[in-house]
Amino acid sequence: MIGIGGDFADIYDDHNGHFYLTIIDVTGHGIAAALLVNRVCSEISKLVRDGLDPFELLYELNTFFYDSFAQTGLFLTIQSIKIDYYNKILYHSGSAHPAALFFNKQNSEFIRLESQNPIIGFSRSDIDRFIQDSRHYNKSDKIILYTDGIIETENKNEMPFGLEGLRKSLITYINKPVDNAAKLIVNEVKNFGHGDLRDDILLIITHLK
């Protein structure tokens, strides 16, 4: 039970030209974090299916989390992405979460999509404190989302896998089918680690259309 953690994701297609990717990491481990994740997961599912833009989702989630769990001492990080298939635009907003990566197929280039907002649940904030960015994409570009367990996994010399390790793995596998690529990268992280992993690891690779 101690190993139960707080990483989870919500993936949703509204079948009306929009696709939503949300990845969350709740601080802490054990039963308390797992129970909190269960409640937050239900709230995220509702907010996403209401069709909110990423910055609106973060605002609503922060209000809900602060009002419900301010006394727990737990917080969460999040990356929220909304993909508009018709206009080939993706909108992204993050709160203290590791940067998402955008893979530009044409240039074989990885671009960091940094978090722009503070950690969720620390304080109540007005909606104008939350921002998002957007960018155009082309067919066959990719989005990579992950939690910090990927880049913070350490080898026996206490050296982290790091963003550079993830980048090298992505260069090797990014042109494979996304499900296969994700499994191969996770296996590299596990092989790099020394003994049992100390944190959850979650990796999502999405092929844009």
Mean pLDDT of the chain: 91
> Tokens at residue 143, please?
């989005």
pLDDT tens digits for range 39-50: 898 999 999 999
> What structural domains does the chain harbor?
7-207 (3.60.40.10)
The yes-or-no verdict on residue 4 having pLDDT over 70 is: no
pLDDT tens digits for range 29-82: 667 777 788 889 899 999 999 999 999 999 999 999 999 988 888 899 999 999
> Taking Cα atoms as reference points, which of 111, 149, 116 lies closest to residue 27?
149
For residues 208 and 143, is the Cβ–Cβ distance under 8 A? yes
pLDDT tens digits for range 147-169: 998 999 999 999 999 999 999 99
